[in-house]
Amino acid sequence: MQLHADNLTVERGTRAVIANLTFTANAGEALLLTGPNGAGKTTLIRTIAGFIAPVNGKITLKVDVGDRDISELCHYVGHLTGVKANLTAEQNLAFWAKYLGADAARSIAERVDDALDAFGLLSLADYPAGLLSAGQKRRLGLARLIVAERPIWLLDEPTVSLDAASTTLLAGLIQRHIAGGGLVIAATHLPLGLEQPSYLRLGSTAPAADGPAQGAAP
């Protein structure tokens, strides 16, 4: 699996937030998007996810079997957690399990339990999501990564509201995902504690693309 952006230009309003950007990200890679506020990190994540159409250039995805759209193969977790306050933690994940598609080998209940356990939320399964702390809501929002398998994870500032222990937990799950051949593209201001990630720096102080700056420091 390979994701390639070719000469990508994206505008917000009348301003080109991203101009003539070319990069490649491969299966088994964590690509971290860095740069100052307003550099276009969120815009790029949302463009890859298909929420924003570029004014020039294109993003293509090569997969082993057949032609698949990126939106069919990706998880997108943005600034908002996507948590429904009036549902319990368990009910929130059951919704995502049904919405994102079932794993025929496991029941929804099994996948929900696995996701809650992976993010340390199993004891809060029956707790109303609206009463969870900010960090717990963030972990619940991220738990959709586990409740339904998708090879591409698009994460926008995933460590917001997370403490050090939860950030370490997330890093471990990302490492496991890429070790299994998954691809992670994450916009972040903070180190994620990953082993040898790649970096793409956005912003006027850097070239339009650092290419796939494999293993380089931001």
- Please state, in angstroms and rounded to a whole number, the distance separating the CA atoms of residues 17 and 26: 24
For the record, the structure tokens of 2 come out as 């390979």
How many of the other CB atoms lie within 10 Å of CB of 5? Answer: 22
**What is the model's pLDDT at position 51?**
93
Largest CA distance in the chain: 49
Domain ranges of the chain: 2-201
**What is the model's pLDDT at position 12?**
86
Instruction: Identify which of 38, 29, 28, 91 has the alpha carbon closest to the alpha carbon of residue 203.
Output: 38
Tokens 């990190």 belong to which residue? 41
**What is the model's pLDDT at position 80?**
85
Q: Does domain 2-201 have CATH number 3.20.20.100?
A: no
**What is the model's pLDDT at position 67?**
61
For the record, the structure tokens of 37 come out as 């506020």
**What is the model's pLDDT at position 14?**
85
Average pLDDT, consecutive stretches of 10 residues, N- to C-terminus, the chain (218 residues) = 95 91 96 93 95 94 76 89 94 92 80 95 96 96 94 95 95 96 94 92 56 37
Residue 121: φ, ψ to 5°? -120, 10
How many of the other CB atoms lie within 10 Å of CB of 14? Answer: 5
